[in-house]
Amino acid sequence: MKLEGKVAVIVGGEGPLGRAVTHKLLSEGAKIVIAWNSAEEWAEARKLISSDQLDRVMDIKIDATQEEQVQGLMKKAKDEFGSIDILLPMVGLFHAGELIWEADVALFEKLINLNLKTVFLACKHGIK
């Protein structure tokens, strides 16, 4: 097991990509902290984790655009497992549709918050 003893934090781990990464990391022996926001998606993702892997998984519901919640996530990960060896900020949103001159600023701000701010906050508090 290549990652035995390593700790991974996956921010946005409930989506399809997060599920695949979780499966791979667990199969390699890693301990994982999964931050999720969508209860419906997390319920589906949770079903894919086998019972013999549960002792290596901690999950936390957060809004990854809120600094204090991301900071708390990283603290809980370090308190529970001792360190963070792998940080995967995977929150994201894709939007295709109207032309840029037809797009609403609110959509732009939402995309920036979900695709960039979440990475910044995860790195800021996870790398310390």
Distances (CA, A) of 38 to 3, 13, 80: 28, 10, 23
Is the pLDDT reported for residue 1 higher than 80? no
Domain ranges of the chain: 7-126
Each residue's pLDDT tens digit, 31-56: 999 999 999 999 999 999 999 999 99
CA nearest 92: which of 115, 120, 119? 115
Q: Which amino acid is at 24?
A: K
**Entry pTM:** 0.92
Q: Are 9 and 126 in contact (CB under 8 A)?
A: yes
What local confidence, expressed as pLDDT, does residue 98 receive? Answer: 85
What local confidence, expressed as pLDDT, does residue 2 receive? Answer: 94
Q: Are 27 and 57 in contact (CB under 8 A)?
A: no
Each residue's pLDDT tens digit, 114-128: 999 999 999 999 998
Residues 6+ apart with CB under 8 A from 68: none
Fold of the CATH domain 7-126: Rossmann fold (3.40.50)
